[in-house]
Amino acid sequence: MCGIVAYLGERLASSVVVKGLKRLEYRGYDSSGVAVMDGGMTVYKKKGKVAELEQLLQNQNLTSHIAIGHTRWATHGEPNDVNAHPHVSNSGRLSLVHNGIIENYASIKQMLISKGYTFSSQTDTEVLVNFIEEVQKAGNYELDEAVRKALKDVVGAYAIVIMDKENPNVLIGARKGSPLVIGLGQNEYFFASDATPIIEYTKEMVYLDDLEVAKVSPEGLEIKNLQNEVSDPQVHTVDLELEAIEKGGFDHFMLKEIFEQPKSISDCLRGRIHPEEAWIKLGGLRDYIGKLANSKRIVFVACGTSWHAGLVGEYLFEELARINVEVEYASEFRYRNPIIREGDIVIAISQSGETADTLAALELAKSKGAIILGVCNVVGSSIARVTHAGVYTHAGPEIGVASTKAFTAQVSVLSLMAIATAHQKGTITEDTFRRLLWELQEMPKKVEMILQKADEIKDISKLFTFASNFIFLGRGLNFPVALEGALKLKEISYIHAEGYPAAEMKHGPIALIDEDMPVVFIATRDSSYEKVVSNIQEVKARKGRVIAIVSAGETEVQKMVDFTIEIPNTHEMLQPLLSVIPLQLLSYYIAVLRGRNVDQPRNLAKSVTVE
């Protein structure tokens, strides 16, 4: 949520920043703005899409080589032009963009009011920029020193970039709990919330750590912590191509990412399994597979779709490795007093690696002596840096807000981890181990087979465009898939949808069944098949309209339901990687037919980096 782009160099700064803000639209936002230094400091900001800001700038004769920009997702104050960023200090000297929440803004604001400051917006950001100005004036400090001193008294989360009218060749950035990267070019510097808006210009990145302040100027880059101690910046070369963050001929990023899953799963598995030689290698966990095998308890912490992946992981680890697993919402875990013992393993799952609640849950677990591991997609992200070890999913950038390929990549990684742990522990036979590896290797081809049915799924979707409610039902490993299917539909189509274990239908949801209620069953051939068939009969007896995801060659279910979508056969433990694909397509086509903005659904952000 929210996005920052800033530039200092020889290019037209406003052009670089606005183009970058467009690249960050996937994060979710409701207003945008830029501040430029053209003789003086000028701010342009607008409620709505970046395109409206771009139109506002069209008739301006902008020549500045320094600018800061922002896409805002409202927290303090409603979405409007006034509350949009950047915010300017009372004197007009400083301009600042900010992601995060300043928790003690109210007390700081009262102090500033007592000193004669006035405020035009409802935001905590306007308070912060005036606080920095007050510190700067009181001590006659350079801007970077004023930022360091001010942030020592700030409580909350932030990523900020600030510029000073009286020193127009300097940008200052700082972070705590919200991501901020610095791009290094030839005689130019970039700040951004992630690599996507600046990859067009440079692949050399520095990831700021918490409580660090960075200063860029024609003299170079300098990073210090809040205690004024110099940090040695670690430069990372980002393996990301511009084509990966463009639509590539698809109507939406979401559809592109659904169709990328054969490749993203293949990339996730590449170099990690060898069915012919019967080995599995997870380099990031080289020193921890033994600890996983010997652990008595694993706790997954995650949010949203990643939490559903964790539920799949629970089934995998308990069934294959016979280890007790709990799956926690990170937002709940961090605010209670969880029982964590030394030797417990806490595994964070996050696409971005920046999810605020998940990071806080990890820090809590770490403070209690747990081994903390990570499963994330973004190299150099906060979770990757804070954990003892982990595994990257290698899914590539995911621009659509509704997660698709990230889910299957996470489930792929969790499958690898569970299989490797079980093999190390000796809780699966060599034959089972080899079969699982073969089935994983075949997974990209089998996903491709499902994607070839996209037109068939689109035709089914047309019949349910005007539904107001959906129920998704599954058992065992396919119960989390039912939850994920319901989440995808509600996220992008705004249809109310619920996922349940199929056996729980009789404990409440069956009261909703009538001829207007679509029910999606995951009815693949597995150990729960006969029970699911019985549940389908109960729904049909009440005139429910049933869409069933079935195994290839299925005939029994086909006779009793309204629609079936076949998926290839695979090992029961790996079925979620296939059964989720039709649900992603079903949700996508229903949302498109309803005229929804599937890549940027209302009120949602891609990465929730604040509470």
d(Cα 569, Cα 555) in Å, to the nearest integer? 14
Helix (H) or strand (E) holding 128: helix 124-139
The CA-CA-CA angle for residues 166, 169, 170, to 5°, reads: 85
d(Cα 240, Cα 428) in Å, to the nearest integer? 38
> Which residues are CB-contacts of 131 (< 8 A; sequence separation ≥ 6)?
108, 112, 150, 153, 154
d(Cα 18, Cα 230) in Å, to the nearest integer? 32
> Which residues are CB-contacts of 429 (< 8 A; sequence separation ≥ 6)?
none
User: Quick check: 30 and 47 in contact, CB under 8 A?
Assistant: yes
Give the 3-state secondary structure of residue 129: helix
Q: What is the DSSP annotation of 288-357?
A: THHHHHH-SEEEEEE-HHHHHHHHHHHHHIIIII--EEEEEEHHHHTTS-----TT-EEEEEESSS--HH
User: Quick check: 355 and 608 in contact, CB under 8 A?
Assistant: yes
d(Cα 409, Cα 141) in Å, to the nearest integer? 48
Q: What is the DSSP annotation of 463-504?
A: TTTT-SEEEEEE-TTHHHHHHHHHHHHHHHH--EEEEEEGGG
> Which residues are CB-contacts of 452 (< 8 A; sequence separation ≥ 6)?
none
Q: Residue 170 — φ and ψ, nearest 5°?
A: -135, 140
Nearest to 234 by CA among 205, 265, 263, 269: 205
Is 268 labeled as catalytic in the residue annotation?
no
CA 419 remoteness from chain centre: 26
d(Cα 374, Cα 376) in Å, to the nearest integer? 6
Given the residues 47, 176, 215, 606, the one annotated as active site = 606
d(Cα 191, Cα 163) in Å, to the nearest integer? 12
Q: Is the peptide bond before 86 cis (omega within 30 degrees of 0)?
A: yes
Nearest to 375 by CA among 313, 451, 450: 313
d(Cα 457, Cα 546) in Å, to the nearest integer? 14
Between 576-593 and 405-425, two packed helices, what is the crossing angle to 10 degrees?
170
d(Cα 435, Cα 571) in Å, to the nearest integer? 8
Helix (H) or strand (E) holding 204: strand 204-207
Is 2 labeled as catalytic in the residue annotation?
yes
d(Cα 560, Cα 384) in Å, to the nearest integer? 48
Q: Residue 437 — φ and ψ, nearest 5°?
A: -65, -45
Cα 320 to Cα 276, 410, 429, 498, distances in angstroms = 21, 17, 10, 29
Query: CB count, 10 Å around CB of 122?
Result: 13
Given the residues 2, 268, 303, 376, the one annotated as active site = 2
What are the catalytic residues? 2, 606
